[in-house]
Structure formats: structure tokens, C-alpha cells
């Protein structure tokens, strides 16, 4: 059985705790490796080594650091297929989707190549008589990245690229469900020229996370995961005086107006609802058609599309639409939520509960499920399902649809499908959600914008990637400088005898 350890000072090392977690093959349910779970001492040791390395890395000028990141971008491109395979092997998503996972991380690496521009400070000439002001952005020191299972390449890259290019060292604690990709990325960082100790990958669970949150050297914590854990990490990190950005779960709605192109809306809903088995924080889990007629027509368009979806392991080829969910526990939780939807009175138009795949009976596959007539009191609406389940909530009017989205405690992403620019503009302007799509179902902003949800989908005040990453991973120092009259005004240049 393969034992996966940590990456410390530029090399893979075995864990010493004697504690391990199973790394599963979600398509078969088999344990394919064991990942070491770090102790507090192992975490503290990794941080202390990073602290020493960071002092030198901070002195490297931004352009040289950017060149290392440029090389990292090239290496990720060269290793795209290997990385995607590692993502699929542990997560279970299809290979094209896994390539997208790597690609959306790579784009953030590409943005970080512009670090010298992002890091240059501000200057005020003559803020007072003979007084100039300038500000500089300096690295924080050692920071922590704690990431979820559902994007094994993208989210670690979102966290580490900005941290490193700004001159920090990062301790990355990836999800214990998918540890391999982060270790591969760490090796590529070393090959690109990131010095030993600047990216330490420590695998682990709550013990490792708590050690990071309590370690006094750690200056900032960048987290992505579920809302309860995001809130816990935000509270403990900030109580310990650290900077924190903690992104949580989601419940993303897509509003369909009566004038929308319903074929396009149905295609969008199927891709955004069931892609990656619904295990995306930007997945659309709620369709909100406006008007009974729109809802009925949408059902007619959706049902045949959903019934056609192909579910299978990533090894079955590129015509598979989505794979298994991550664990047996996740499968059972999702099946329980579907049961609750039926019990609480929603119409289950497509039932994926009894799905079984020959040869993969022990895998964590769930067929696509589609509920109509879901109401906001039902658990299937209130909970983040994080599975291949789409719920339709019928709204009587545009205002009712908008209020439904506004009243939901999550605020990660949302979209509206309409042919009317005025409605789209009103929706984008008024809705209290961080990322909005107009005729666009999964509005993950490009790397030079920024990503962050509102309400219970995000704690902290700076988003991840884009210009905000440079603000998060640096602190600003402002210098006010005055020089008294100098040699040009009163200096004497002639050779004088001593009096």
C-alpha cells in the first residue's frame, strides 16, 4: 500500500505520527493509498523551516520571483495530462473536467507573472513642502493555505501562486482525500526554482489545521471548504491575530425568465447542475423559472437531457458526463437528502437513487436526480447537497425569484437567463451574491478579476486571486520623507584651512 507523506524543504518525507487516512478510489470504493496525518510538532517544524527560508526569498526582487512563477506555468502546461490524471484518480471527476481544474489554476499562475507591476508601490511627490510619501508592499512572512477536496489542482494553485510570488512562504494543507496533486505541484515548484522551504506541503486533518491556526509564526490563513469549517477557521485565526480569508459552501440559483431561450437554459442547467457530480462550489443546484408556463416548458426540456446523462468512472473515456461522489459517507448523505425531499412533498421527476454500474457496484455513483415543486422550507433546499441533484423552485414573478435568492443564507454564485437587458442589469445590480452570470451558468471570474462569495459563502474582506491576492499576501508600509537643506544649498566646496 502506497504511503503518502509530506513535502518539506524541497523533498518528499514520510510522516512520523503513525496516524493515516485512507485515500479512496471513489469509482471502486477501494483504498488506493494511505496519507500521513501530521502532528502539531511536524507542523511547527515545517513552519520554522519555512520561516528561515522566507527571509532570503523576500530579498529576491519581484521580477526574479515572477520568472520562477513563469517557469512554473510552463511546467504545469508540460505536465497537464499527468496532473489531470492524478486529479481524476483521487477525486473521480472526468479527465476533461480534471484538465479544466488544472487549467483554471494555471490561469492564476499566469496572472502572477505580472507581480512586479502588482507589487510596485504608490508615490506622492511634494505631499508637503519638501515632503514625499511612498508606500511599498512587503510580504507577510509564512502563511497557510488549507484547501478542499473538490478542486485538487485549482484551489491549491489559487492559494500558493500569489503567496509565493509576493515573497512569502506557504504551508499548504491539502484535503486528505486528494493529497497527490498538491505534492506533484510542490515538485513542479521546486523544479521551477522555488527555493526549498518556501512551499511546504503538510498533509493532515484537524490536528494539523489547529496547529497552523495556533502557530504564532503564521501570519495569514487562506481557506476554502465547507461553511461550518470556514467559520471556525476564520474565528480561530482572527482571534489569534492572523489575517484570514475563508470561503465556504454555496447554494447557487439560476433564474429563468419567460423570455429566455429555454434550450440554452436547459443545456446550462444540466452542465452546471450535474457536472463533476454537482461537487462544485459554483454548481447550480436550484432552477428558479418565473411563471408556471416557463416552469412546465423547462421541465419538458430538462427531463430528456437529464435522462441522457452518462455516469461512469473517468477511465471509461470522454463520453462520460460525470463520475462518482467522493466517499461512501457523501453518497449516503446525498441519498438521505433525496429521501427527505420525497418525504417533505417535492416531486421527484428523475430518481437517481438506485443507480448501479456493472463492475463498479462498490463505487460511490449516484444517478442524476431532478426535483420539481421544491419549497424553501424543505431540507433539500436548505442544505448544500453537493451531489448530482437539481431542484426546481417555481416563482410567481421576477421579484419573488429575486427575493428567494436574496433570502438564501449563501451568496457564492447565481445566474439569470433572459433576453431582456434591463432585467439582467437589474438582477446583477440588486442581487446580494458575489458572482453573477448573465446567460452564463457558472460565472467563475477570470484570473485577473477576483473570486469570492458573499454572506455565508465567504468570511474575511479580501477575495482570492486577481489584484486582491496581492493585497491579501502583502502588508503596506508607507514612508513620509523629508530631507533638510543639503549640500546643494549650503555646502562648501573650497578647501578650507582649519580655524
Select the span of 20-28, 136-144, 205-213, 482-490 touching ligand NAD (CB under 6 A): 205-213
We find the least distance from the C-beta atom of residue 130 to ligand NAD, in angstroms, to be 48
Q: With binding defined as CB under 6 A, does residue 157 bind ligand NAD? A: no
DSSP 8-state assignment for residue 149: S
CB 2 within 8 A of CB 15: no
User: Of the two residues 321 and 384, which places its CB atom closer to ligand NAD in the complex?
Assistant: 384
Does 200 help bind ligand NAD (rule: CB under 6 A)?
no
Residue number with CB closer to ligand NAD (182 or 265): 182
| 30 neighbors 209 (Cβ within 8 angstroms) | no
- Which lies closer to ligand NAD via its Cβ, residue 119 or residue 146? 146
By CB under 6 A, is residue 453 in contact with ligand NAD? yes
| C-alpha torsion sign, points 419, 457, 209, 363 | negative
Residue count, binding to ligand NAD (CB under 6 A)? 26
Q: What angle do helix axes 154-165 and 180-192 make, rounded to 10 degrees?
A: 30
Determine, following the binding rule CB under 6 A, whether residue 173 of this chain makes contact with ligand NAD. yes
Using CB under 6 A, pick the residue from 12, 120, 206, 308 that binds ligand NAD.
Answer: 206
Q: How far apart are the first and last CA of the chain?
A: 88
- Asked whether position 371 contacts ligand NAD by CB under 6 A, the answer is no
**Residue from the set 5, 73, 139, 148 that interacts with ligand NAD by CB under 6 A:** 148
Whole-angstrom distance, CA of residue 365 vs CA of residue 448: 36
Q: Is the dihedral of CA 442, 447, 450, 452 positive or negative?
A: positive
Q: Which of 150, 414, 423, 463 binds ligand NAD (CB under 6 A)?
A: 150
Q: Which is nearer to ligand NAD, 414 or 457 (CB)?
A: 457
Per CB under 6 A, which region of 160-168, 243-251, 264-272, 437-445 contacts ligand NAD? 243-251
Q: Residue 225 or 363: which CB sits closer to ligand NAD?
A: 225
Taking the C-alpha atoms of residue 237 and residue 239, their distance in angstroms, rounded to an integer, is 5
Burial 218-240 (b: 16+ CB within 10 A, else e): bbbbbbbbbbebbebbbebbbee
By CB under 6 A, tell whether 149 contacts ligand NAD.
yes
Out of 111, 247, 364, 371, the only residue in the binding site for ligand NAD (CB under 6 A) is 247
Q: How far is CA 297 from the centre of its chain?
A: 35
Q: Which position among 112, 166, 189, 281 bears the catalytic label?
A: 281
Q: How far is CA 51 from the centre of its chain?
A: 25
Binding mask 249-288 for ligand NAD (x = CB under 6 A): xx------------------------------x-------
Q: Least separation, in Å, of the C-beta of 16 and ligand NAD?
A: 19
d(CA 63, CA 78): 23
Q: How far is CA 487 from the centre of its chain?
A: 56
Task: Say how far apart CA 226 and CA 250 lie, in whole Å.
Answer: 8
CA–CA separation, 433 and 250 (whole Å): 10
Q: Which residue number, 173 or 455, has a Cβ lying nearer to ligand NAD?
A: 173
Which of 175, 219 has the CB closer to ligand NAD?
Answer: 175
DSSP state of 361: T
Q: Which stretch binds ligand NAD (CB under 6 A): 100-108, 141-149, 194-202, 477-485?
A: 141-149
Residue 96 C-alpha cell reads as: 476533461
Q: Are 475 and 167 contacting, i.e. CB atoms less than 8 angstroms apart?
A: no
Whole-angstrom distance, CA of residue 468 vs CA of residue 244: 13
Q: Per CB under 6 A, does 229 bind ligand NAD?
A: yes
- HSE, CB side, 13 Å, CA atoms: give it for residue 364: 27
281 is catalytic: yes
Binding site for ligand NAD (CB under 6 A): 146-151, 173, 175-176, 205-206, 209, 224-226, 229, 247-250, 281, 384, 386, 412, 453, 457
Positions marked catalytic: 281
Amino acid at each position: 500500500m502506497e504511503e503518502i507523506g509530506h513535502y518539506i524543504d524541497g523533498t518528499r518525507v514520510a510522516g512520523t505520527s503513525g496516524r493515516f487516512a485512507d485515500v479512496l478510489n471513489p469509482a471502486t470504493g477501494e483504498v488506493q493509498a494511505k496519507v500521513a496525518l501530521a502532528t502539531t510538532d511536524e507542523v511547527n517544524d515545517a513552519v520554522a523551516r519555512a520561516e528561515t527560508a522566507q527571509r532570503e526569498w523576500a530579498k529576491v526582487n519581484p521580477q526574479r520571483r515572477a520568472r520562477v512563477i513563469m517557469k512554473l506555468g510552463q511546467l504545469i502546461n508540460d505536465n497537464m495530462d499527468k496532473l489531470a490524471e492524478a486529479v481524476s484518480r483521487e477525486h473521480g471527476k472526468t479527465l476533461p473536467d480534471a484538465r479544466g481544474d488544472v487549467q483554471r489554476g494555471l490561469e492564476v499562475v499566469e496572472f502572477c507573472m505580472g507581480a512586479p507591476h502588482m507589487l510596485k508601490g504608490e508615490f506622492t511627490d511634494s505631499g508637503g513642502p519638501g515632503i514625499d510619501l511612498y508606500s511599498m508592499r512587503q510580504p507577510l512572512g509564512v502563511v497557510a493555505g488549507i484547501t478542499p477536496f473538490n478542486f485538487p489542482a485549482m484551489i491549491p494553485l489559487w492559494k500558493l501562486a500569489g503567496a509565493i510570488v509576493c515573497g512569502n512562504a506557504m504551508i499548504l494543507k491539502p484535503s486528505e482525500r486528494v493529497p497527490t496533486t498538491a505534492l506533484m505541484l510542490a515538485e513542479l515548484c521546486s523544479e521551477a526554482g522555488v527555493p526549498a522551504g518556501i512551499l511546504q506541503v503538510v498533509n493532515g486533518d484537524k490536528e494539523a489545521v489547529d496547529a497552523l491556526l495556533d502557530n504564532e509564526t503564521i501570519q495569514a490563513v487562506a481557506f476554502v471548504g465547507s461553511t461550518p469549517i470556514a467559520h471556525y477557521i476564520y474565528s480561530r485565526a482572527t482571534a489569534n491575530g492572523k489575517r484570514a480569508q475563508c470561503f465556504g459552501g454555496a447554494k447557487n440559483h439560476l433564474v429563468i425568465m419567460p423570455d429566455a431561450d429555454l434550450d440554452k437554459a436547459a443545456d446550462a442547467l444540466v452542465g452546471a447542475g450535474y457536472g463533476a457530480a454537482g461537487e462544485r462550489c459554483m454548481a447550480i443546484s436550484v432552477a428558479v423559472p418565473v411563471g408556471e408556463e416557463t416552469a412546465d416548458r423547462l421541465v419538458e426540456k430538462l427531463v430528456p437531457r437529464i435522462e441522457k446523462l452518462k455516469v461512469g468512472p473517468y477511465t471509461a473515456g470522454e463520453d462520460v458526463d460525470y463520475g462518482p461522489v467522493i466517499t461512501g459517507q457523501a453518497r449516503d448523505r446525498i441519498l438521505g437528502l433525496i429521501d427527505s425531499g420525497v418525504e417533505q412533498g417535492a416531486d421527484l421527476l428523475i430518481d437517481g437513487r438506485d443507480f448501479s454500474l456493472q463492475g463498479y457496484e462498490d463505487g460511490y455513483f449516484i444517478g442524476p436526480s431532478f426535483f420539481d415543486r421544491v419549497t424553501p422550507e424543505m431540507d433539500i433546499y436548505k442544505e448544500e447537497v453537493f451531489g448530482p441533484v437539481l431542484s426546481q423552485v417555481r416563482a410567481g414573478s421576477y421579484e419573488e425569484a429575486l427575493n428567494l435568492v436574496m433570502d438564501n443564507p449563501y451568496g457564492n454564485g447565481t445566474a439569470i437567463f433572459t433576453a431582456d437587458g434591463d432585467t439582467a442589469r437589474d438582477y446583477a445590480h440588486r442581487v446580494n451574491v458575489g458572482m453573477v452570470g448573465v446567460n452564463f451558468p457558472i460565472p467563475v471570474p477570470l484570473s485577473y478579476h477576483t473570486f469570492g462569495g458573499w454572506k455565508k459563502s465567504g468570511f474575511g474582506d479580501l477575495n482570492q486571486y486577481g489584484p486582491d491576492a496581492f493585497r491579501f499576501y502583502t502588508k503596506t508600509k508607507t514612508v513620509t520623507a523629508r530631507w533638510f537643506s543639503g549640500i546643494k544649498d549650503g555646502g562648501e566646496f573650497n578647501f578650507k584651512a582649519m580655524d
